[in-house]
A and B are shown apart, each in its own frame.
Chain A
Amino acid sequence: MEDVVTAKGWTLVCDLDDIVSNTGVCALVDDEQVAVFRVGENALYAIDNFDPNANAYVLSRGLIGSLGERVVVASPIYKQHFDLRTGECLEAPEHSVRAWQVTLQGDHVLLGQPLR
């Protein structure tokens, strides 16, 4: 798929159907790797794909789950959990990552800017 930059600075990265429910994919936006997750049917989350604990771009391949109220992904390398809303690394806060704006427009998954 070609990158489509919309007027508001959002990038269309894929259709909702491209993400199997309760899994993630990795999108390339301006040379940055962003992990985009689909939780349940329609909820979307995005955080950096880079796992600072492992120095590898892998977070999109982690398992999604909940810990208490938090929705998290577990890194596939060393299993640290990242909060999908904030990017916080629960086990090692110094290794937290950025969360990104993400939204669903019709069937399109649009990625915005990092939240911090």
Chain B
Amino acid sequence: MTMKLLVIGNGMVGHKLLEELMERQPPGLDITVLCEEGRPAYDRVHLSEFFSGKSAEDLSLVEPGFFDQPGIQLRLAARAAHIDRQQKRITTADGEVLTYDKVVFATGSKPFVPPIPGNERAGCFVYRTIDDLLAMQAWGMHAKRGVVIGGGLLGLECAKALRDMGLETHVVEFAPRLMAVQVDDIGGQILRRKIEELGVTVHTGKSTLEIVDGDDTHHRMKFADGSYLDTDMIVFSAGIRPRDELARQCELGVGERGGIHVDNYCRTRDWDVYAIGECAYWGGKTFGLVAPGYDMARVVAAHLCALLERKHVLQLPEFVGADMSTKLKLMGVDVASLGDAHGTTPGSRSYQFSDERRQVYKKLVVSGDGKQLLGGVLVGDASEYGTLLQMMLNGIELPASPEFLILPTPDGNAKPGLGVDTLPASAQICSCNNVSKGQLCDAVCAGATSIGDLKTITKAGTTCGGCVPLVTQIMKAEMKRQGLAVNNHLCEHFAYSRQELYHLVRVERIKHFDELLARHGKGLGCDICKPVAASILASCWNAFVLQKEHASLQDSNDYFLANIQKDGTYSVVPRMPGGEVTPDGLIAVGAIAKKYGLYTKITGGQRVDMFGARLEQLPVIWEELITAGFESGHAYGKSLRTVKSCVGSTWCRYGVQDSVGTAIDLENRYKGLRSPHKLKMAVSGCTRECAEAQGKDVGVIATEKGWNLYVCGNGGMKPRHAELLAGDLDTPTLIKYIDRFLMFYIRTADRLQRTSVWRDNLEGGLDYLKEVIVHDKLGIAAELEAEMQLVIDTYECEWKKAVTDPQTRKRFQHFVNSREADNNVVFVPERGQIRPATLEEKRSRRIPASVMTE
């Protein structure tokens, strides 16, 4: 049997359906997808991150090549305009007619714009699609103040977006409190205070009558109480309405407040028509969260596959409603609402705790007999959310004094109640992707022993991310149970992680590897722990890496202060801070390369790499480079490589700050800093970002007011955009934050862990990093800065030191007992330079090792 399936809508839920179907690969299924927008599915849950550094591509949900698979066609910018259910035909807005056997409505919602006169003026926006965001962004460039109408969940998300755009931000809410649906009065008050502290002005109980021209601003909003508010732009975020117009037109049956009636299989009254996601109306309501939408997608995928395979399946999954509990972070403020948050269940009792100093509010709603958790509200600190949700969903009996579940513990002891062990295997941990505790445990058994692996394999925590702390707990508990004992030992010689070794070195002021091995290790050490120890010792005490006690720890590159190549020769990279080099400098580099017959290439980090140097040539090459004013570029080290820059405001028409000057300062500040892995930085002089700073471990982008600091980006094998850590910084603050960031990374990262992976594994993620670096939550900022200052104050050019130290210099010869060169090093000419000879070439003609042109 073949089936022509038409899916209308390629939002998050529509796309989930496609993924589910393609994964099952049912035979004979031919899918056509109509997507109204110009781009395929993207992550609307994290839309506001578009303003804090994520690109449209970052938000995309489409795996590369997904729509290139056979049996699926995507039509972008194609809107279904008419449906003829008798003929089973859909007509698009362009007049194209498509026939179907089955059709799925995944049309989502549209923003509700209150019928206020003036709501269609230029400078009034809605917040739903990337195109909406682009329009907001364009207008926001020339705006000073922005207003969000609507103080619900989406409205506050949207306020964050406006604030990230640098606007003075106001929120106008009709109800007497923020997030009226999810939180109660006291919770709403605490939330309001927190949000106002973040510089957002909140107006509650305001009904907007009309929008007119302002005196000096684009708009003036007039309120029912006679007051007014002037603003340059307005964003409506006052709720959503299901997109059910096609269904209405073909009389499919809709709910009183919209939404297409569906049964437990998400079928409409016409069994060839399904509806899923926000446009579906089930059990008297619609569902504005992604998790129930994903559930519906899975239900429909299973149903369609069963039909196709003509199999009688006993237990087809059904949609059975959804728990609407949510946890989110609004502008850094944790807010969570569970179940019956308002205590409307007859006979229910509530417990409340509020702390006005810390601005935390927590409330539990329990059943009359005090045994079951019915709901709750958490504002300011939602760390108990995962536990409470599981207790509620799994009907776990409450302890005798449930109040202790939300009360702070004076002695810092663990709270009573839910260890993850008490959860049944069937407990759904990730509701977005329907992952149970059992599935997580199975994945751990199969070898997923890092949170990254677990996410990749089970998809848990990859959508809204709310369950990641719980997933981590389950992973750790399961590993412990299996006796895997969360082994993060560096190698067989040290039963410690890199982080633990770092602390031992610091706290015990250990200065040498022998000492470290004697006190905390065994055996001789190896090629894993020795370089790690060398790096930690250098990060902490910054002694010369080639001094006698440290020399034998260095990997070959560090040992000879150059990068070993496949034939055993080395490449040499002099430092050119910020990519700036004088003509004389370039001439000197060129002359030296020519003299020693080196192959030269420009690197990605804006400097020159010279290849083909033999061991014994390195010191003489460096003597000449040092004479010409160059220093070691540390291309060989797990250390700061380069700070790339664009030309900046000095020359560029668009530059707003001196990016080259800042790049040079940063490079000179951090040169020689040893770290768990190599570090790259860049500074861009304006938002055009020509230095590609968002692909670096530390990226700095100039703004009109100062600098935006991005961290944890990466190019390479797994590209990752850097994320905004702090905005509009002055230069001293910028440097302070980078000091702290780098030292915190050096303290806590694993061996050979780039900042991007470190960040992905950091519990608490970017918010935690902000707390530590910007708000000094751990109280270690001064310490980190002092540690960095020591490294900076003790910097010495390693090559200068090496060539002037006879003991070190002696090591730079190929033979200990001969002045000859390694005759296996053979070069052949190519494109006017040298390259290593291949094995065949070496066999056929032995040519002299050096191509000296002296």
Contact = CB atoms under 8 A, between A and B. Distances in A.
Interface of A: 1, 3, 13-14, 18-23, 25-28, 33, 36, 39-40, 50, 54-58, 61-68, 71-72, 74, 76-77, 79, 81
25 contacts: A1-B816, A1-B817, A3-B818, A13-B817, A14-B816, A18-B816, A26-B814, A27-B815, A28-B817, A28-B820, A33-B815, A33-B824, A54-B568, A56-B824, A58-B568, A63-B530, A63-B554, A64-B524, A65-B527, A65-B529, A66-B493, A66-B523, A67-B492, A77-B566, A77-B568
Contact of B567 (A56, A63, A71): A56
Interface string B69-108: 0000000000000000000000000000000000000000
Interface string B512-556: 000000000001111101110000000000000000100111111
Interface in B807-841: 810-811, 814-818, 820, 822, 824, 839
B502 interface: no
Given A57-B822, A76-B564, A13 B816 contact: yes
B559 interface: yes
Nearest 4 A/B pairs, CB to CB: A65-B526, A76-B556, A22-B552, A74-B527
Contacts of B567: 55-56
Nearest to A78: B566
Contacts of B560: 61
A54 B565 CA distance: 10
Contacts of B817: 1, 3, 13-14, 27-28
Given A57-B822, A64-B552, A26 B564 contact: no
A65 B822 contact: no
A33 B524 contact: no
A25 B524 contact: no
A58 B565 CA distance: 10
Interface of B: 492-493, 523-527, 529-531, 548, 551-557, 559-560, 564, 566-568, 810-811, 814-818, 820, 822, 824, 839
Contacts of A66: 493, 523-526
Given A18-B810, A66-B493, A55 B527 contact: no
Given A58-B568, A66-B523, A66-B526, A27 B552 contact: no
Nearest to A1: B817
Given A1-B817, A54-B566, A61-B564, A23 B525 contact: no
A109 B567 CA distance: 28
B501 to A, nearest CB: 16
A33 B556 CA distance: 18
B614 to A, nearest CB: 11
Contact of B816 (A25, A50, A62): A25
Given A57-B568, A65-B530, A20 B811 contact: yes
Contact of B524 (A18, A19, A39, A76): A39
Contacts of B566: 54, 56, 77
Contacts of B822: 33, 57
Contact of A63 (B527, B548, B810): B527
B828 to A, nearest CB: 15
Most buried by A among B527, B554, B816: B816
Contacts of A57: 568, 814, 822, 824
B200 to A, nearest CB: 53
Given A26-B814, A27-B817, A54-B566, A76 B555 contact: yes
Contacts of A25: 811, 815-816
A82 B567 CA distance: 19
Contacts of B552: 20-23, 63-64
A34 B560 CA distance: 19
Most buried by B among A26, A54, A65: A65
Contacts of B524: 22, 39-40, 64-66, 71
Most buried by B among A19, A63, A71: A63
Contacts of B559: 23, 61
A20 B545 CA distance: 14
B810 A79 contact: no
B526 A56 contact: no
Most buried by A among B529, B551, B552, B817: B817
Most buried by A among B527, B567, B839: B527
A114 B552 CA distance: 26
A44 to B, nearest CB: 13
A22 B816 CA distance: 16
A68 B522 CA distance: 10
A106 to B, nearest CB: 17
Contacts of A20: 548, 551-552, 811
Contacts of A40: 524
Nearest to A74: B527
A90 B526 CA distance: 14
A63 B531 contact: yes
Contacts of A67: 492, 526
Given A22-B552, A64-B552, A79-B527, A58 B564 contact: yes
B568 A68 contact: no
Contacts of A14: 816-817
A32 to B, nearest CB: 11
A20 B816 CA distance: 12
Contacts of A36: 816
Nearest to B529: A65
A27 B777 CA distance: 57
Given A20-B552, A61-B560, A63-B555, A56 B568 contact: yes
A49 B826 CA distance: 17
Given A23-B551, A39-B524, A57-B822, A63 B556 contact: yes
Contacts of A76: 555-557, 564
Contacts of A1: 816-818
Contacts of A18: 810, 816
Contacts of A23: 551-552, 559, 811
Nearest to B525: A65
A63 to B, nearest CB: 4
A48 B354 CA distance: 73
A26 B816 contact: yes
Nearest to A29: B817
Nearest to A40: B524
B564 A77 contact: yes
Contacts of B824: 33, 50, 56-57
B835 to A, nearest CB: 15
Nearest to B528: A65
Contacts of B529: 65
B449 to A, nearest CB: 23
Given A18-B810, A21-B552, A64-B552, A27 B568 contact: no
A77 B559 CA distance: 13
A85 to B, nearest CB: 13
A74 B526 contact: yes
Contacts of B527: 62-63, 65, 74, 79, 81
Nearest to B551: A20
Nearest to A19: B816
A58 to B, nearest CB: 4
Nearest to B816: A25
A14 B813 CA distance: 13
A28 B557 CA distance: 23
A82 B559 CA distance: 19
Contacts of A21: 548, 552
B810 A62 contact: no
A66 B526 CA distance: 6
A1 B810 CA distance: 13
A114 to B, nearest CB: 17
A67 to B, nearest CB: 6
Contacts of B557: 76
B98 to A, nearest CB: 56
Given A23-B551, A56-B824, A77-B564, A61 B816 contact: no
A25 B817 CA distance: 9
Contacts of A79: 527
Contacts of A81: 527
Contacts of A19: 816
